[in-house]
């Protein structure tokens, strides 16, 4: 389950929910609901977490065991995706 991996990443980083909530700019109680699966995390927060942990959103969501920190997308992706990913440090632009 992805929630376990998500929590494990935080604990392995030696951080509490309060610190992660601070990084995301939200209250700890809101972050706790995300981490426990009581509320769906917004995509922009998920991307920020992946960037913070230097991993991929797929890894956080347990869709892969590859802890790659690189995010790939092509020029054919919608502009909204480029806007969302624009502030992430680990974005690689590829032309296919």
* pLDDT score recorded for residue 4: 86
pTM of the model: 0.66
- What would the pLDDT profile of 62-78 be if each residue is shown by its tens digit? 888 887 655 555 555 55
pLDDT tens, residue by residue, 6-16: 899 999 999 99
What confidence score (pLDDT) does residue 96 get?
Answer: 39
Residue 55: CB atoms within 10 A of its CB come to 21
19-54 in b/e burial notation, b at 16+ Cβ within 10 A? ebbeebebeeeebeebbeeeeebeeebbbbbbbbbe
What pLDDT does 20 receive?
94
Residues of the chain with pLDDT under 50: 93-96
């Amino acid at each position: 389950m992805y929630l376990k991996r998500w929590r494990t990443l935080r604990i392995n980083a030696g951080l509490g929910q309060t610190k992660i909530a601070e990084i995301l700019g939200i209250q700890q109680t809101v972050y706790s609901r995300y981490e426990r699966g009581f509320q769906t995390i917004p995509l922009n927060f998920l991307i920020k977490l992946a960037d913070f942990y230097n991993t991929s959103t797929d890894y956080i969501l347990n869709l892969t065991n590859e802890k790659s920190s690189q995010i790939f997308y092509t020029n054919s992706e919608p502009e909204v995706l480029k806007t969302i990913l624009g502030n992430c440090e680990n974005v690689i632009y590829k032309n296919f």
